[in-house]
């Protein structure tokens, strides 16, 4: 699903070149739930941005669902991002002056679905996150947990092949965080491929596999025991 | 996607009402100022007879010569009007398809209705060709004939307003009208006709109303109806006393127009005119090489500077003001768009291409431009009504605001604001979604 080989990302100024990622290689298979961990500044978010085609990389290769990303123009990258990737952000990143339905509608508009198809997908994704009754609410009228659920519904609406989550529970209290994680696990059980960036080892342990990044390089690809549910984790 | 972007633009404008109002106000004020002056400019600079402006030619003959040393505003030492001897010479030659000598005159009209008091009527003495040559529209009747010209007939064509005033708007063809104590038979009533500028006689109230009565040139001369327009005599051109003295003088007071449909006709007429001047030299009237010129209506308006330099400068200043307003609006747009950088980043993450963001922002700029255009229209009407109160009735038609002017105002506003929105839009497209989302 996602394969990066010898990938590097350098930020250059006139006097210094800093590598956020160096010789970075990772392979995420279809249906996997991978947690990417590491200390602050290790390159986790840069990895996620490149994986989500939000940022260019300096060297190496990146294949997303069999498509070599290098050399794609902005239109091709945008279309690929729209069709294959769903984003879940730490800060939810809902658009404040759009209601819940319209927020979920955004990626569907760019996909070019007709009105009936968009309405069907919005209703389905809202139902999946348990917010069918909140379609006309604005983000400010929802709790943090509900906002993150809307963001997940938005990410799911386009039926992406890959969900990229950046600290999805970072702005939530523990109860809300648990609910969001339960939802991600449920999506994974339903076959979704999820890559979740987190600095929280307790969250990482709930993923199928953990990838640890230090100084822009993968240092550990140790397999983790798969936890089927949050309840099981507490046993 | 246009309707989607349009609805997003409306939402965005509602989000920050004060900023939106400031942008619209900046554009509206600029459009109002520029459209007010542009409306006046267009009225002044318009083509008064678009179908034939390249076929109608004003005729100039230098009958004073270089020794005269009197140059009336022209660099080419050519007078803007011609003398009576030349007018008659050209009319008799009949070298053009149609031609007419003409001059501004007038008289007192004694209405048939005793309840109306006599009043002054501005008139024009011309030949029968005047009407078809200038495509003058008739409500009733028509022009007099060439035979009427030859016979110095007591006939008159009157304007619509005069017909309304004297005959209550009825068909007055065949009725008589007492002008300066002489009865004239009405042969035609004009429909609305107001070439602006009044190109056929720019010496006399060039933005004023057209004359309300037209009589044969020959009859006017016979009646010794003096010129109510511009007369130039000086130096050797001082006429002998009396009407006959004026007719035989080199004073210039007559306009002369010829209709020359094809370029070949114009070339032939130029040759004719030079031959005519050469003939006058042989006859001992002119003592210099032929100096003649014909200019079509457009060239004539440019040559005579129908639009004054002051008006051109005013238009330039007002459009500079519009530019300043647009720069202000651009700054506000930039602030508004940069305030939405995170939203733009989110949209990019959700699949919007740079082109999609570009379209969205540009349509938003267009919507602001449209709203600014509507406000500008209101301010333009206000500005024009202010001008109207300053101008005389004769020239306040320059402030007429037509449907075309409305379209121009809206188009200028939308296009200018969209162009002003290019930079903020470009900045929006440059938003790095990853950085914006990281910053959150």
For residue A104, is pLDDT > 70?
yes
- Put simply, the answer to whether B438 touches A74 (Cβ < 8 Å) is no
Q: What is the DSSP string of B43-103?
A: HHHS-SSTTTTTTEEEEEE--S-GGG----S-TT---SSB-HHHHHHHHHHT-SSEEEEEE
Quick check: B352 contacting A, CB < 8 Å? yes
Q: Where are the domains of chain B?
A: 2-47+308-439, 63-259
Quick check: A10 contacting B, CB < 8 Å? no
B312 vs B438, more confident: B312
- Put simply, the answer to whether B352 touches A87 (Cβ < 8 Å) is no
Q: How far is A229 from chain B (nearest CA, A)?
A: 29
Which candidate in B2, B342, B351 is best for mutational testing of the A interface (most A CBs within 10 A)? B351
| pTM, to two decimals | 0.68
Determine how many CB atoms are found less than 10 A away from the CB of residue B118.
12
Nearest CB to A93 within list B15, B352, B440: B440
- Put simply, the answer to whether B12 touches A97 (Cβ < 8 Å) is yes
Tokens of B159: 């304007």
- Put simply, the answer to whether A49 touches B353 (Cβ < 8 Å) is no
Angstrom distance (rounded) from CA B236 to CA B250: 8
Q: Which of B292, B425, B385, B288 minimizes the C-alpha distance to B32?
A: B385
Q: Which of B232, B296, B297 minimizes the C-alpha distance to B84?
A: B232
> C-alpha B250: how far from its chain's center?
31
Angstrom distance (rounded) from CA B169 to CA B415: 46
Res. A234 pLDDT band, cuts 50 70 90: very low
Nearest CB to A93 within list B14, B355, B437: B437
- Provide the 3-class DSSP secondary structure of residue B387: helix
Tokens of B47: 């083509």
pLDDT tens sequence across B356-378: 998 998 899 999 999 999 999 99
Buried b (16+ CB within 10 A) or exposed e, B350-359: bbbbbebbbb
Which candidate in A11, A94, A95, A153 is best for mutational testing of the B interface (most B CBs within 10 A)? A95
* Residue B353: C-alpha distances to residues A107, B270, B317, B358, B360 (Å): 11, 64, 40, 9, 11
For residue A128, is pLDDT > 70?
yes
- Put simply, the answer to whether A78 touches B352 (Cβ < 8 Å) is yes
> Which residues sit opposite B256 in a β-bridge?
B101
> C-alpha A147: how far from its chain's center?
15
Q: Which of B110, B264, B223, B243 minimizes the C-alpha distance to B177?
A: B110
Res. B222 pLDDT band, cuts 50 70 90: very high
pLDDT tens sequence across B136-193: 999 999 999 999 999 999 999 999 999 999 999 999 999 999 998 899 999 999 998 8
Token match 């001059």: residue?
B103
- DSSP 8-state symbol, A223: B
ipTM of the complex: 0.86
With a CB cutoff of 8 Å and minimum separation 6, the contacts of A25 are: A4, A5, A6, A7, A60, A218
Quick check: A118 contacting B, CB < 8 Å? no
Q: How far is A57 from chain B (nearest CA, A)?
A: 12
The bridge status of strand B255-259 relative to strand B138-141 is unpaired
Q: What are phi and psi of A57, to 5 degrees?
A: -120, 160
Nearest CB to B440 within list A89, A107, A158: A89
Sheet of A2-12, strands arranged across:
A17-28, A2-12, A59-64, A67-68
Which candidate in B3, B15, B349, B358 is best for mutational testing of the A interface (most A CBs within 10 A)? B349
Determine how many CB atoms are found less than 10 A away from the CB of residue B374.
18
For residue B395, is pLDDT > 70?
no
The bridge status of strand A33-37 relative to strand A209-214 is parallel
User: For A52, which residue in chain B has the nearest alpha carbon?
Assistant: B349
């Amino acid at each position: 699903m996602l394969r990066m080989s010898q990938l590097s990302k350098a930020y250059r100024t006139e006097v210094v070149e800093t590598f956020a990622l160096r010789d970075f290689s990772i392979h995420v298979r279809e249906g996997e739930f991978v947690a990417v961990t590491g200390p602050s500044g290790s390159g986790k978010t840069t990895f996620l941005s490149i994986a989500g085609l939000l940022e260019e990389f300096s060297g190496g290769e990146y294949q997303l669902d069999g498509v070599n990303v290098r050399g794609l123009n902005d239109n091709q990258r945008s279309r690929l991002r729209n069709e294959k990737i769903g984003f879940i952000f730490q800060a939810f990143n809902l658009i404040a002056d759009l209601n819940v339905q319209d927020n979920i509608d955004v990626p569907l508009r760019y996909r070019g679905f007709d009105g009936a198809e968009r309405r069907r997908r919005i209703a389905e994704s809202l139902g999946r996150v348990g917010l069918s009754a909140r379609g006309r609410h604005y983000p400010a009228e929802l709790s943090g947990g509900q906002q993150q659920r809307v963001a997940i519904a938005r990410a799911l609406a386009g039926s992406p092949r890959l969900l990229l989550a950046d600290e999805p529970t970072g702005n939530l209290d523990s109860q809300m965080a648990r609910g969001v994680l339960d939802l991600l696990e449920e999506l994974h059980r339903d076959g979704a491929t999820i890559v979740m960036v987190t600095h929280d080892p307790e969250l990482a342990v709930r993923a199928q596999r953990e990838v640890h990044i230090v100084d822009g390089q993968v240092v550990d690809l140790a397999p983790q025991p798969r936890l089927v549910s949050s309840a099981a984790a507490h046993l | 996607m246009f309707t989607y972007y349009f609805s997003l633009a409306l939402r965005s404008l509602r989000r920050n009402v004060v900023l939106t109002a400031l942008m619209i106000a900046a554009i509206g004020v600029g459009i109002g100022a520029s459209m007010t002056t542009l409306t006046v400019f267009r009225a002044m600079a318009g083509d008064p007879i678009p179908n034939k402006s390249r076929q109608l030619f004003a005729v100039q003959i230098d009958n004073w010569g270089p020794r005269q040393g009197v140059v009336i505003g022209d660099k080419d030492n050519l007078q803007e009007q011609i003398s009576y001897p030349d007018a008659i010479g050209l009319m008799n030659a009949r070298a053009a398809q149609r031609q007419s000598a003409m001059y501004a005159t007038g008289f007192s009209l004694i209405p048939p209705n005793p309840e109306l008091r006599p009043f002054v009527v501005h008139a024009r003495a011309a030949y029968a060709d005047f009407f078809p040559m200038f495509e003058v529209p008739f409500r009733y009747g028509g022009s007099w004939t060439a035979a009427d010209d030859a016979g110095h007939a007591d006939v008159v064509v009157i304007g619509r307003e005069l017909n309304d005033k004297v005959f209550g708007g009825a068909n007055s063809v065949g009725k008589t009208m007492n002008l300066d104590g002489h009865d004239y038979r009405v042969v035609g009533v004009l429909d609305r006709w107001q070439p602006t500028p009044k190109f056929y006689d720019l010496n006399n109230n060039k933005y004023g109303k057209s004359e309300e009565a037209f009589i044969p040139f020959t009859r006017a001369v016979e009646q010794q109806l003096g010129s109510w327009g511009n007369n130039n005599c000086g130096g050797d051109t001082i006429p002998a006393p009396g009407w006959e003295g004026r007719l035989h003088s080199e004073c210039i007071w007559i306009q002369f127009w010829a209709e020359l449909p094809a370029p070949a006709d114009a070339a032939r007429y130029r040759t004719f005119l030079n031959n005519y001047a050469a003939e006058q030299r042989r006859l001992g009237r002119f003592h210099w090489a032929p100096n003649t010129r014909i200019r079509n209506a457009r060239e004539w308006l440019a040559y005579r500077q129908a639009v004054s330099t002051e008006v051109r400068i005013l238009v330039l200043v007002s459009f500079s003001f519009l530019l300043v307003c647009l720069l202000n609006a651009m700054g506000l747009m930039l602030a508004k768009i940069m305030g939405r950088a995170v939203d733009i980043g989110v949209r990019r993450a959700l699949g919007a291409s740079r082109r999609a963001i570009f379209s969205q922002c540009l349509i938003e700029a267009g919507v602001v431009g449209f709203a600014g255009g509507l406000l500008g229209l209101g301010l333009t009407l206000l500005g024009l009504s202010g001008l109207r109160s300053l101008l005389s009735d004769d020239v306040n038609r320059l402030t007429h605001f037509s449907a075309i002017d409305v379209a121009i105002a809206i188009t200028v506003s939308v296009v200018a604001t969209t162009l002003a929105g290019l930079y903020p839009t470009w900045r929006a497209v440059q938003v790095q979604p990853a950085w914006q989302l990281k910053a959150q």
